[in-house]
Amino acid sequence: MERMILSILVENTPGVLNRVAGLFSRRGYNIDSLTVGETNNPNISRMTVAARGMPDTLIQIEKQVKKIEDVLDVFVLDDNSSVYRELVMIKVKASSAERQDIVSIVDIFRCNIVDVAPDSLIIEATGTQSKINGLLAMLDSFKVMEIVRTGVAGMARGLSDFDIKKMKSNRETGGISNG
């Protein structure tokens, strides 16, 4: 099985997330990760969807997503020419004796401690899935109470086809940005 990460530009309208997720559900495709956020244009949102499957299935997913109402454009983010990041918050039970060991791990992974309580720490980490998984493996000897992961977010490096289309559109419309 292969992994595909789609960057999907959609109109920022009610129900668009349901339509995209519904397509995956109806077709029996699994979503590994889904993040959604407004772009620099409040009328457009970007969905980053990670899915796994056989190559022909992944091609079919891309084609089907392009047909959904409210979908403006779809890009497959290539591993070699894209940047991916994920945010995770990890609540770790931490006695006073364990704190320094946890802080050392946090420092090695260049993370932040964003909350300290008498019996726990909340760690914030941003990075690749590999970095996040490595951090979790190092914290395995401690009592991890709770984990919240955002899922993968990604962008193409340099100017992508979307950026080039946007620049051409801006020139043609006198500088009005659509994305």
Class of domain 83-153: alpha beta
Q: Which of 71, 52, 69, 70 is nearest to 61 (CA)?
A: 52
CATH 3.30.70.260 fits 2-77, yes or no: yes
Question: What are the residue boundaries of the structural domains of the chain, listed by start?
Answer: 2-77, 83-153
* C-beta separation of 114 from 123 below 8 A: yes
Q: Do the domains spanning 2-77 and 83-153 agree at the CATH topology level?
A: yes
Partnered with residue 117 across adjacent β-strands are 120
Q: What does pTM read for this prediction?
A: 0.78
Q: Tell me the pLDDT tens digit for each residue of 87-146.
A: 999 999 999 999 999 999 999 999 999 999 999 999 999 999 999 999 999 999 999 999
Whether the per-residue pLDDT at 23 is higher than 50: the answer is: yes
